[in-house]
């Protein structure tokens, strides 16, 4: 069981060192943004064009992030964002949501994994650095599942604007999307608890914890 829960992370760490992982994640996101921008122009999806331009500007000017607002994303989160953006790009710009079976469900699942991972990372960092929050790891997991379920409801509203995801056409589709998000939240919660037990969760949030601590926790602690 522990091997299964560790699997999404261990293989990457074993074949690629820290510097390699950071470069891989960074360039993966940049490549996806460039491809998205080109496809959006070709398809006339101007919201995606604007988003692509904004992403490319931010992605190719790292000094803006590091010196001005000092935002650092862990390689794992950056790689997840790149993968999910690629899935959404294929769904919207290449019409994969309607032409490929279960494509929308797979995209929903990984989007929820990202949401759950971010939620777990933020809760964990607050628990570690802020005196105002002390939480059991199982309570963290429960809160992560609830947060993922709540976010999935918001995503259902966003789908109506056809920016991300495929709009649900029936009550059954809505319920299926919510179920998929709940399952993703539970899986990420189990992985998070297992990694905390083994003392490995800090590795996955390296850099992000300093950002949260300096930008949010220290300010609210004054």
Q: Would you kindly state where each structural domain of the chain is located, as residue ranges?
A: 2-220
Statement: residue 110 has pLDDT above 50: yes
Q: 121 and 204 in contact (C-beta within 8 Å)?
A: yes
**What is the mean predicted confidence (pLDDT) over 117-122?**
89
3-state SS class at 197 = helix
Identify the band that residue 210 occupies on the pLDDT scale cut at 50, 70 and 90.
Answer: low
Lowest mean pLDDT among 1-5, 110-114, 115-119, 155-159: 1-5
Lowest mean pLDDT among 68-77, 110-119, 132-141, 158-167: 68-77
Distance, CA of 94 to CA of 206 (rounded, Å): 35
Structure confidence at residue 165 (pLDDT): 66
Structure confidence at residue 150 (pLDDT): 93
**Phi, psi dihedral angles at 199 (to 5 degrees):** 70, 25
**75 φψ region: left (φ > 0), alpha (ψ -120 to 50), beta (else):** alpha
Identify the band that residue 168 occupies on the pLDDT scale cut at 50, 70 and 90.
Answer: confident
Structure confidence at residue 197 (pLDDT): 87
**What is the mean predicted confidence (pLDDT) over 66-73?**
53
Of residues 69 and 91, the one with the higher pLDDT is 91
Distance, CA of 30 to CA of 79 (rounded, Å): 10
**Would you say how long the chain is, in residues?**
222
Question: Rounded to whole angstroms, what are the CA distances from 24 to 20, 55, 73, 74?
Answer: 6, 17, 13, 12
Structure confidence at residue 186 (pLDDT): 96
User: Among all chains, which residue has been given the structure tokens 């998000």?
Assistant: 181
Of residues 156 and 59, the one with the higher pLDDT is 156
CA 181, 183, 211, 19: dihedral to nearest 10 degrees? -110
Structure confidence at residue 187 (pLDDT): 96
Of residues 216 and 53, the one with the higher pLDDT is 53
Identify the band that residue 138 occupies on the pLDDT scale cut at 50, 70 and 90.
Answer: very high
Distance, CA of 208 to CA of 75 (rounded, Å): 10
């Amino acid at each position: 069981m522990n091997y299964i829960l560790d699997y999404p992370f261990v293989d990457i760490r074993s074949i690629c060192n820290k510097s390699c992982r950071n470069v891989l994640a960074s360039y993966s996101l940049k490549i996806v943004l460039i491809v998205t921008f080109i496809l959006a122009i070709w398809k006339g999806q101007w919201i995606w064009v604007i988003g692509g331009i904004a992403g490319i500007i931010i992605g190719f000017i790292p000094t803006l992030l590091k010196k001005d607002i000092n935002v650092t994303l862990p390689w794992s989160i950056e790689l997840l964002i790149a993968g999910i953006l690629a899935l959404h790009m294929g769904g919207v710009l290449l019409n994969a949501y309607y032409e490929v079976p279960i494509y929308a469900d797979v995209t929903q699942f990984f989007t929820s994994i990202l949401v759950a991972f971010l939620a777990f990372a933020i809760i964990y960092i607050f628990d570690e650095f802020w005196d105002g929050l002390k939480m059991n790891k199982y309570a963290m997991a429960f809160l992560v599942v609830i947060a993922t379920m709540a976010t999935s409801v918001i995503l259902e509203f966003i789908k109506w604007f056809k920016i991300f995801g495929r709009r649900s056409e029936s009550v059954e589709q809505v319920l299926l999307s919510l179920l998929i998000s709940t399952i993703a939240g539970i899986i990420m919660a189990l992985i998070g608890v297992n990694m905390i037990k083994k003392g490995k969760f800090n590795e996955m949030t390296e850099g992000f914890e300093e950002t949260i601590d300096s930008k949010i926790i220290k300010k609210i602690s004054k």
